[in-house]
A and B are shown apart, each in its own frame.
Chain A
Amino acid sequence: DADVTQTPRNRITKTGKRIMLECSQTKGHDRMYWYRQDPGLGLRLIYYSFDVKDINKGEISDGYSVSRQAQAKFSLSLESAIPNQTALYFCATSDLGSGRETQYFGPGTRLLVL
């Protein structure tokens, strides 16, 4: 079984709809992240969480919100989806092994907003 899972894997929605992307991990890591990836752009950080009570905005948090329900679960919500939120979304966890923080990514969610 994968250590970092994301649901759904693919989603088509309409402008104005609220949607939630979910991420679960079995790695026991405290730190979790949400990124989006667009063609021609590098991964960009949306939100991150260092533990259940710690939520932080990333580079591009506008239009998104998150919830850290438990150590193992970190959800990303689009309150009112718009077409430019069409992208590939990745959840990641990380640990501090070997003195450097190493990230482990989930398989991604492809979102299309019509």
Chain B
Amino acid sequence: RKEVEQDPGPFNVPEGATVAFNCTYSNSASQSFFWYRQDCRKEPKLLMSVYSSGNEDGRFTAQLNRASQYISLLIRDSKLSDSATYLCVVNIGSTASKLTFGTGTRLQVTL
């Protein structure tokens, strides 16, 4: 079983749609969680951290379920510019040297 698993997609959605991605992780000792965004042929960039109580940043909402060991990302009112690959990232330690990256879920937002 992979340490961090994501549905690779692609998710093809029309502009304005709401889309949700899930990610599961295997290590129950995982301490912190993140969503990164990676555009085609570009570097990953931090989208948002994921906190235990859930958190929201504009159109983006992240949730964490420690009991079931999954993380979710909800994007509301999708924009064309949201088209990218979304990486689920889990840290089993206290430094970035312990980060485990998922393979990513590709989102394509269409007109």
Contact A33 B96 (CB under 8 A): yes
Tell me which of B12-20, B53-61, B66-74, B97-105 binds A: B97-105
- Check: A90 CB closer than 8 A to any chain B CB: yes
- Check: A56 CB closer than 8 A to any chain B CB: yes
- Check: B4 CB closer than 8 A to any chain A CB: yes
Contacts of A105 in B (CB 8 A): 43-45
Contact B43 A43 (CB under 8 A): no
Given contacts A102-B46, A107-B43, contact A40 B103 (CB under 8 A): yes
Contact A100 B103 (CB under 8 A): no
- Check: B1 CB closer than 8 A to any chain A CB: no
Contact A43 B42 (CB under 8 A): no
Given contacts A33-B96, A33-B97, contact A42 B104 (CB under 8 A): yes
| B37 smallest CB distance to A (angstroms) | 11
Interface size class of B (residues with CB under 8 A): 20 to 34
Of all chain A residues, which has the CB nearest B98? A45
| A11 smallest CB distance to B (angstroms) | 15
Contacts of A44 in B (CB 8 A): 101
Interface size class of A (residues with CB under 8 A): 20 to 34
Given contacts A42-B101, A42-B104, A108-B42, contact A103 B96 (CB under 8 A): yes
A-B contact pairs, 29 of them (CB 8 A): A31-B95, A33-B96, A33-B97, A41-B103, A42-B4, A42-B87, A42-B101, A42-B102, A42-B103, A42-B104, A43-B44, A43-B87, A45-B97, A48-B97, A56-B97, A90-B43, A90-B44, A92-B96, A100-B32, A100-B49, A101-B91, A101-B95, A101-B96, A103-B46, A103-B96, A105-B45, A107-B43, A108-B41, A108-B43
Instruction: Give 7 A-B pairs besides A101-B96, A103-B46, A107-B42 with Cβ atoms closer than 8 angstroms.
Output: A33-B96, A41-B103, A42-B100, A42-B102, A42-B104, A101-B94, A105-B44
- Which of A's residues lie within 8 Å of B, judged by CB? 31, 33, 40-45, 48, 50, 56, 58, 90, 92, 94, 100-103, 105-108
